[in-house]
Amino acid sequence: GAVVSQHPSRVICKSGTSVKIECRSLDFQATTMFWYRQFPKQSLMLMATSNEGSKATYEQGVEKDKFLINHASLTLSTLTVTSAHPEDSSFYICSARSQASGANVLTFGAGSRLTVL
């Protein structure tokens, strides 16, 4: 089945530094990947749609200069949290669609827990 790998699973950083999270589709190509953020006891909030070879599409209220998304290949999308602050601490999850799973089903990575001190 389709597998999405996310790295790192946990990261702790100092305020003001930047953190990069990688999302890889291991056994399929993904022209589109999605980045979500989950606050404690809250829903998964779609942050942006990552498009291979073009600019990401950000949801309303998401700062594109704060959350840089790069989708340089058909199997890799990266999310960089720039100049991180404690309020950026959250669980970030990426996902992608594979043909095997069907058009409406997303395969999710295991998530990345970011803690900004």
Partner 1 sequence: DQQVKQNSPSLSVQEGRISILNCDYTNSMFDYFLWYKKYPAEGPTFLISISSIKDKNEDGRFTVFLNKSAKHLSLHIVPSQPGDSAVYFCAASSSLVFGAGTILRVKS
Backbone angles phi, psi at 36, to 5 degrees: -120, 160
Q: Closest distance between partner 1 and the C-beta of residue 111, in Å?
A: 5
Exposed e or buried b per residue across 53-79, where buried means at least 16 C-beta atoms within 10 angstroms of its C-beta: eeebebeeebeeeebbbbbeeebbbbb
Query: Interface residues for partner 1 in 50-89 (CB under 8 A)?
Result: none
The smaller minimum CB distance to partner 1, of residues 34 and 67, is found at: 34
Kindly state whether residue 28 participates in binding partner 1, applying the rule CB under 8 A.
no
At position 78, the amino acid (one-letter code) is T
Q: Report d(CA 6, CA 94) in Å as an integer.
A: 7
Among 11, 13, 44, 74, binds partner 1 (CB under 8 A): 44
List of residues contacting partner 1 (CB under 8 A):
4, 6, 9, 34, 36, 41-46, 93, 95, 101, 103-111, 113
